[in-house]
Amino acid sequence: MGKTAKTVGGIAAAVVAICCAAGVLSSIGEIFDQTPYIWPAIGASVVVALGAALAYQKVQAGRAKRELEAWTDWEDVGTDGPWPWAMVLARTSVATPTAAWSGWADGFPVKAGVITWSGMGLRDLTGKFDGTGVFACVRLPRPLPLAAVHLRPDATGKTFDERFQVKGTIGDVQRIVHVDNTVPPWTITGEELFVIVPVAEPVRPRHIQDIARRAAWAAQLAIEEVTTPGGSSAREPGAGNTG
């Protein structure tokens, strides 16, 4: 009897809710019928709002472009490359730098700039199939084993293992700074560590310097923590050569 009463009560509540909703919609319909110009007014408001949003985006893009053109803190190095992601990017994916500069971040030489990409190849780094953002390539003081911390394709949850996948071996500090988003996903290709980070607004010099600093921190941690799967750290250049 208890379950039956609950079921009947639920049905009754649903009927009341539907009736109330119908009454509200009917009242709104009467208002629109009595105000024949309300639909054109709403349409005009939407058009104006969209126009204002597009104009704002255009203004912001123009300001960002002028800031990059006037930026002299780092040296413009062009986009010819070579770029480290070419070693690991699938042929079906495209990553194209549109501007690049060289400078220093936390004691590391860095090349960084603006990049666009498309295809599956950078999804593990960026979380997106295509987009625009900032790249940073950090020159390491010595070669390290090939290693990476990438996003899982089906990343869910909050823990490191739920969100990231690792190639090689990393330490506990790397896990912590990835979980709190202090450093972005990265890839080591020998003497370079690179990151590619989506940016949802027009890229400015501050974005490039910020990503460069975060990449430099990832590089410092990699030098201290990255090891081969067998557990031995990367050798110094020339180590083991006896002539």
Q: State whether 64 and 93 are in the same domain.
A: no
| Amino acid of residue 186 | W
Q: Cα(144)–Cα(192) distance, rounded to whole angstroms?
A: 8
Of 16, 48, 68, the last residue of a domain is: 68
Q: State whether 108 and 55 are in the same domain.
A: no
Q: State whether 145 and 54 are in the same domain.
A: no
Q: State whether 46 and 126 are in the same domain.
A: no
What band does 192 get if pLDDT is binned at 50, 70 and 90?
Answer: very high
User: Does some domain include residue 54?
Assistant: yes
User: Does some domain include residue 236?
Assistant: no
Q: State whether 118 and 217 are in the same domain.
A: yes
CB 102 within 8 A of CB 69: no
Q: State whether 43 and 148 are in the same domain.
A: no
User: Does some domain include residue 230?
Assistant: no
Residue 88: what pLDDT?
Answer: 79
Task: Please state the domain count of the chain.
Answer: 2
Residue 76: what pLDDT?
Answer: 93
Of 34, 68, 102, the last residue of a domain is: 68
- Domain extent, residue 25, equals 2-68
Q: Cα(193)–Cα(168) distance, rounded to whole angstroms?
A: 14
Q: State whether 90 and 200 are in the same domain.
A: yes
Residue 228: what pLDDT?
Answer: 43
42-57 per-position pLDDT tens digit: 666 777 667 766 665 6
pLDDT over 90 at 26, yes or no = no
213-225 per-position pLDDT tens digit: 999 999 999 998 7
What band does 127 get if pLDDT is binned at 50, 70 and 90?
Answer: confident
Q: State whether 80 and 122 are in the same domain.
A: yes
Q: Cα(21)–Cα(187) distance, rounded to whole angstroms?
A: 55
DSSP string, 48-109: HHHHHHHHHHHHHHHHHHHHHHH--SSEE--S----GGGGT--TT-EEEEEEEEEEEETTEE
Q: What is the mean pLDDT of the chain?
A: 77
User: Does some domain include residue 243?
Assistant: no
Query: Where is pLDDT greater, at 202 or 72?
Result: 202
139-167 per-position pLDDT tens digit: 999 999 889 999 988 777 789 999 999 98
Q: State whether 108 and 11 are in the same domain.
A: no
pLDDT over 50 at 115, yes or no = yes
Of 68, 90, 113, the last residue of a domain is: 68
Q: Cα(11)–Cα(22) distance, rounded to whole angstroms?
A: 16
User: Does some domain include residue 93?
Assistant: yes
User: Does some domain include residue 32?
Assistant: yes
What band does 66 get if pLDDT is binned at 50, 70 and 90?
Answer: confident
Q: Cα(191)–Cα(112) distance, rounded to whole angstroms?
A: 16
Q: State whether 106 and 195 are in the same domain.
A: yes
- Copy the structure tokens of residue 154: 């089906």
Residue 56: what pLDDT?
Answer: 56
User: Does some domain include residue 240?
Assistant: no
Q: State whether 91 and 211 are in the same domain.
A: yes
Residue 181: what pLDDT?
Answer: 87
Q: State whether 139 and 216 are in the same domain.
A: yes
Please tell me whether residue 16 adopts helix, strand or coil conformation: helix
